[in-house]
Structure 1
Amino acid sequence: MTVIFACTFPGGAAIAGDTLMHNPETNERVMNAPKVLNISQRVSVAQAGSFSGTGEVWSKLEHLPRHSATPTTIAEAIRSFATPIYQRKCGEGPAAMRYIVAGLEADGTPAIRWLEFDANNFGEVTGPCQIAALGTISNVQEIANRALHESLKPSSNFVMLDQWCKRVVAAEATASPHAVGFPAMLIVMKDTTGFGKQVGPEDPPDPAYEVYWP
């Protein structure tokens, strides 16, 4: 398992996840690897759950046409690619497969879509100032909401996305140190540009990751 989360803001979206990989049978840490895939400057995907045997989904997503990708088309593709894999994995034992897709739709509307196969939870939110989170603890959505408001610059309507990312991962890492850990990966997508970076537990705020939050 891991923690993945996203938010939308006027004119864009952000998506993030931790990078720790662990052995689900022994809970031992194995390695760090990115769990966020940038499809284009307008849409990205984050994956959580059982990673063994799911690399085919990632590989197919990497080869989709980038110029026409939107949160809707990518979410539909994931559901098509991942459903048979999830069904096969369930035949082998308990399995968890979760994805969050965030970015801008064709008309410029920011959107988040999630696919939580193990809970049969498939949903979406559109428009600015939306948040979605999937993690190891039951109140991760509440944690992500609170962390964002704690990441607002004092007396302003600007949120520091890198500090938001740091707070969410830190809370999950405290609760599930075997499954969640730094560095985190954060990607920001706007209409004309996309950029990202690794976020460490001690990183100071970076002005490039401040966005308007009305």
Structure 2
Amino acid sequence: MVTSDALAQGVAATPLQATSAVKRVNPPAVTKASNTPMTSSQPTWQDLTPAQQVSLRPLAAHWSSLDSARKRKWIALAANYSALAPPEQAKLHSRMTEWASLSPKQRDQARLNFAQSKQISATQKAATWEAYQALSPEEKQKMAKSAPPKPAGAATAAKPVAPDKLTKIPLRKPTTRQASEVPAISQSVNRNTLLPQTKPLPQPKPTQ
């Protein structure tokens, strides 16, 4: 027969065994924080040359948040910064400042608008040309003046000169000497053969 002490020991041991089994089945998950530092895309601001840092100064605060492709595009756009005139340099920096002030969503929309503007269909081009043809001569001349100047050395199409602006060559009347020589020349030409006529040789006088 099983004594009461044995039953008490068995009942007391059962909760301990169940607890240890639960601990073995479900071990506590240990999460470790990643110590890997966040690296910026290349090139970093420190990798740029002093001249590049000057040309890209409005983007200095946002440079680390740009991806490599966007960085390369800005570097290419500012490659000739030192050769630009001061007004052009200020204009380029103004564009950078405006772009840096946009939110990520606004930047994506600006890129989308730029891509769409490059994909103009032939129908849209034809409509633009028809609209230009409908302009008055004064409006066309105004647009031509506001257009950017052509690069030096470009060939230009020759414009026809008005007849009233052509140089007139004065007609000269033949002189008296020239008028007298014309009949002589016309008489020395055979009208049938258009060959010069030879004068007959003088006949020798008969000897007595």
**TM (normalized to structure 2)?**
0.21
Structure (1 or 2) with the larger CA radius of gyration: 2
- Higher fraction of strand: 1
**TM (normalized to structure 1)?**
0.20
